[in-house]
A and B are shown apart, each in its own frame.
Chain A
Amino acid sequence: MPNAILDPTGRGAGSVTSPRGGRAERHGDLAGLRVGLLDNTKHNALLFLEEVGELLVSRHGAASVSIVETKANFSVPIDETIVSRFRQACDVVITGVGDCGSCSAAAVADGINFERAGIPAAVVLTDAFTVTGRTMAEVHGAPDFEWITTEHPMASLSPDEVRERAAGLMTQIVDTLARVAS
């Protein structure tokens, strides 16, 4: 009997993280809800998020932008402490903008963590990072997690172009945060 060839991954063939549920409940609209923004530090991300926050308040009935935080490390998903702070301070959250290798993957994980904590989350990635986002969703046991995709690149846009980009995504963002699952 020959010796078996050893698996170098430590995870075994075909092993995947078993799906764990957790899509936060939606209310159909954003009336009176408090908005949280989680900035991943990438260039133009905060400007984009602030513009989305303003539009949610001025045009979509949200009460206010009630919490804005900047990630300490854009590569690593946020921990339970930060999720708790958002759970206390807001009702829905927008995060991004995923426009790099590790920050896109981490933004997807952040969105999954918010949803599991009961906070509807709109995660924005550029379209160059679809595969890494999907891989991260699988790693975190939420293979069907949905995020919002915008055209790459985002970092080189002018401030006016960033605001335009935000305005153009509002329908999707509102839908993501408010649509009750059918």
Chain B
Amino acid sequence: MSDVALDADAAQLAVEHCYEQGWSDGLPLVPATQPLVDRFLAAGGRSADDVIGHMPQLDRTVTVELAAINAAMAGCKPEYFPVVLAAWEALMNERATKGGGWQSTSGPAPLIIVNGPIRGELGFNGAGGVFGPGFRANATVARAIGLIVRNVFGVRPHELEQATQGLPGRWSLCIAENEEESPWAPLAEERGVTGDAVSATLLRTCEYVDNRHTTDPEQLLADFADTIGRSGAWIFRHAMAGVVFSPEHAQLLAGAGFGRADVAAWLAEHAGRTTRELARAGKDHSTEAGVRFPGTDAEPDGFQRTVAPGAEPTMLIAVAGARNAGISMVVRYFADWSGTPVAIRREASHE
């Protein structure tokens, strides 16, 4: 690189060219050329023609090569490409992306969580400011997913993408788990995938919880249960959520003997609203299928759980952020989460 004269004027023209083609999400793209994409393909270790995604309603297909072009344009380094492939695979495995998720009026955002030594090697942030911005690996891997949806599936805003407002942080929610300061085993390892792995699903909302007010684990959990139980994003009989805990909150809970499953069980049991409270929002009546609507037949003081009984194992409980305050994030799913991480497969030369 150092012996190449940097031609900023040519670079600007190339960036403008990408805008003119309609490829950009609004920010400048790195113009992708074959030599650059070849480095991505080498790092990805998969055949360029491998099909890694299909959207049946549009009959459009994602290949490894098209994913590599979009990852390059997003600003990824070639060595990030295995993470992009794993994140894409994890998302494509989710029910939320098989239907109309990418086109939805909800404007859902993928949440991508990275585990394993690759976090440090590639510079994924899992500590302060984990939800960004500021870190190339986090920002560009998430952006690559958004560009694949936009460009390869052709799901573009105002056209096939119909987000009413869209979720803030859409295409930028890629975080590393803070394994070093987590009291629990890495998220993916608890789910059966040791080492470098990605867990992902689509989110409907994120909501911040600040609690530096108690050392009682049940009081702390009650604050999260209250946030999970809000009616605003709750539209079907049940809704699903998880929590990305700060190290301080996670350590408090673990110190009181709570493992991930205990946290999930407690939150699932306590998150919800009474029928009377839901009636105020016109959301008290629900059926097995279909959305909530006003009804008059239920006991007003009856408690309606947000999380479906039995769904506790797929509440995502992760740890990320700085060890400097009791601030955590409730992450509410667009639909559900399979609970199945995808291993990041790197070329042999990197192992």
| Chain A residues near B (Cβ < 8 Å) | 2-11, 13, 41, 43, 73-77, 100-106, 109, 129, 131-132, 135-136, 139, 155
Task: Decide if B57 is an interface residue (CB 8 Å cutoff).
Answer: yes
> Cα distance A175–B35 when bound, in Å?
57
Chain A residues, Cβ within 8 Å of B60: 10-11
A-B contact pairs, 24 of them (CB 8 A): A4-B34, A5-B17, A5-B31, A6-B33, A6-B34, A6-B37, A9-B154, A10-B152, A43-B290, A74-B100, A76-B57, A76-B100, A77-B56, A100-B100, A101-B100, A101-B104, A101-B161, A101-B162, A102-B99, A102-B103, A105-B103, A106-B100, A131-B159, A136-B160
Chain A residues, Cβ within 8 Å of B151: 8-10
Chain A residues, Cβ within 8 Å of B178: none
Q: List B residues 16-40 near A (Cβ within 8 Å).
A: 17-18, 21, 23, 31-35, 37
> Cα distance A6–B34 when bound, in Å?
7
Question: In whole Å, how far is A119's beta carbon from the nearest beta carbon of chain B?
Answer: 20
Chain A residues, Cβ within 8 Å of B161: 101
> Cα distance A106–B58 when bound, in Å?
9
Task: Decide if B280 is an interface residue (CB 8 Å cutoff).
Answer: no
> Cα distance A129–B162 when bound, in Å?
8
Chain B residues, Cβ within 8 Å of A3: 33-35
Task: Decide if B174 is an interface residue (CB 8 Å cutoff).
Answer: no
Binds A, one of B66-74, B191-199, B209-217, B244-252: B66-74
> Cα distance A135–B156 when bound, in Å?
10
Chain B: number of interface residues, binned into ranges: 35 or more
Residue among A4, A9, A105 making CB contact with B23, cutoff 8 Å: A9
> Cα distance A76–B160 when bound, in Å?
13
Q: Rank and list the top 8 A-B pairs by shortest CB-CB distance, nearest first.
A: A102-B100, A101-B162, A75-B100, A3-B33, A102-B103, A75-B99, A101-B103, A8-B151
Chain A residues, Cβ within 8 Å of B21: 7, 13
| Chain B residues near A (Cβ < 8 Å) | 10, 14, 17-18, 21, 23, 31-35, 37, 56-61, 63, 66, 69-70, 73, 99-101, 103-105, 147, 151-152, 154, 158-163, 289-291, 293
Question: In whole Å, how far is A136's beta carbon from the nearest beta carbon of chain B?
Answer: 7
Identify whether the interface residues of A are mostly helix, strand, loop, or mixed.
loop
Chain B residues, Cβ within 8 Å of A43: 290-291, 293
Which residue from chain A places its CB closest to the CB of B66 in the assembled complex? A10
Which residue from chain A places its CB closest to the CB of B154 in the assembled complex? A9
Chain B residues, Cβ within 8 Å of A104: 162
Instruction: A101-B161, A139-B160 given; name 5 further pairs at CB < 8 Å.
Output: A5-B32, A7-B21, A8-B23, A101-B100, A132-B103
